[in-house]
Amino acid sequence: MKFETKAIHVGQAPEPATGAINVPIFQTSTYVQKSPGTHKGYEYSRTGNPTRTALEECLASLEEGKYGLAFASGMAAISTVLNLLKTGDQVVSCDDLYGGTYRIFEKVYRDYGLDFVYVEPTNPATFEKAITKKTRMVWLETPTNPLLKIVDLKAVAKIARKHKLISVMDNTFATPYFQKPLTMGIDIVVHSTTKFLGGHSDVIGGAIVTSNKKYYERMKFCQNAVGGVPGPMDCFLVLRGLKTLSVRMKEHEKNAKKIALFLQKHPKVKKVLYPGLKNHPQHKLAAKQMDGFGAIISFVLKSNLAGAKRFLSKLKLFALAESLGGVESLAEHPAIMTHASLPKNVRDSLGISDSFVRISVGIENVDDLIEDLKSGLAVV
């Protein structure tokens, strides 16, 4: 079965009791047993719920993995992956990460005796150099957030395998429609389904997909033990989002390409970061390991903080908000908003300056979006 068909059908057979074409929202906490221990596969909804099962099966198939787990948020999924580690273990990660991931590493799990090191991720050799006897896991994002660097997934997965490390990849930005890390040798994929997978800015959710039975069973155990599970209504919303993922991603990308080219030519824009642009330093690698370049664009204005603030406040269609991946376009200021949890010296060394802006291109008409950006740029 191909991607578009799987998104609509896997895990979503018509409901047998009534023939309902959609998976019902099984709004129940518990399940009646015929005699003690005799049940229909469900005992208690922290452990399992049929709406969640449908979502987990569909997500696993889209990522070409064997096992899926759905969570109450992307962070709950990330936390559960970290539960595979023990005190004294080390994680080697990218120097450009989702702010919340950096925060849970540094402000939560470091207190439990885990160690985290960060490397410049565009050269796979930097990962290998950072590996010590304590290293157990490699944690990746590509394209990275917000600098949109590309990590060579096959190369880093190979290094991880050689050193018997668990490789983890946050595939929120690209989605399985554009990039399938498990097919490139990565062990575990995590998602914030809040973003493109849900796609309508109406739900918070997360997911893990893997084909490794041992990791799956431990994470499933931890999911049930810790309890960060999604409610059935949230699972239903993500599942509904998945049905249109392919059509949305195509439109997102078509608009993003046009906007990246528009920004690149604009006199008030100093620099555009988008892997789909030919002048992106890793455009070739992106073209090789991705089937499309996604909808996130970062750019640097020829201005100071005040100019960036004027630009963002002037936009009408691009809503000034954190998050990304919804049908509506969003714009944000990483230094003040999503990446404020990174220390200023770290932001500066990465190039996330006061005139750095990130946009998530929606699926509105692209001419309207360009008009909106033009009016914002006029006041820079």
Ligand X SMILES: *Cc1c(COP(=O)(O)O)cnc(C)c1O
Residues labelled catalytic: 46, 98, 170, 195
Q: Which of 62, 91, 204, 269 binds ligand X (CB under 6 A)?
A: 204
User: Are 315 and 376 contacting, i.e. CB atoms less than 8 angstroms apart?
Assistant: yes
Q: Which of residues 249 and 366 has its CB atom nearest to ligand X in the complex?
A: 249
CA 221 to chain centre: 23
Q: Is residue 170 at the binding interface for ligand X, with CB under 6 A as the rule?
A: yes
Q: Is residue 98 at the binding interface for ligand X, with CB under 6 A as the rule?
A: yes
* Helix 232-243 / helix 245-265 crossing angle, nearest 10 deg: 70
Q: Is residue 49 at the binding interface for ligand X, with CB under 6 A as the rule?
A: no
Element (H, E) at 319: strand 319-320
Q: Identify the bridge partners of residue 20 per DSSP, sorted by sequence position.
A: none
Strand ranges (DSSP E) for 36-120?
Answer: 67-71, 90-94, 115-119
What would the two tokens of residue 338 be? Answer: 């999503």
User: Are 163 and 152 contacting, i.e. CB atoms less than 8 angstroms apart?
Assistant: no
DSSP structural state of residue 155? H
Q: Is residue 6 at the binding interface for ligand X, with CB under 6 A as the rule?
A: no
Interacting span for ligand X (CB under 6 A) from 85-93, 97-105, 121-129, 284-292: 97-105
DSSP structural state of residue 298? E
Q: Is residue 73 at the binding interface for ligand X, with CB under 6 A as the rule?
A: yes
Q: Which of 11, 65, 74, 275 binds ligand X (CB under 6 A)?
A: 74
Q: Which of 10, 58, 69, 75 binds ligand X (CB under 6 A)?
A: 75
Residues in 177-196 at the binding interface with ligand X, rule: CB under 6 A: 192, 194-195
CB of 259 to ligand X, least distance (A): 19
Interacting span for ligand X (CB under 6 A) from 20-28, 96-104, 223-231, 277-285: 96-104
User: Are 295 and 325 contacting, i.e. CB atoms less than 8 angstroms apart?
Assistant: yes
CA 356 to chain centre: 21
Q: Which of 90, 167, 172, 211 binds ligand X (CB under 6 A)?
A: 172
- The residues that touch ligand X, with contacts defined as CB under 6 A, are 73-75, 98, 100-101, 141, 145, 170, 172-173, 192, 194-195, 204, 206
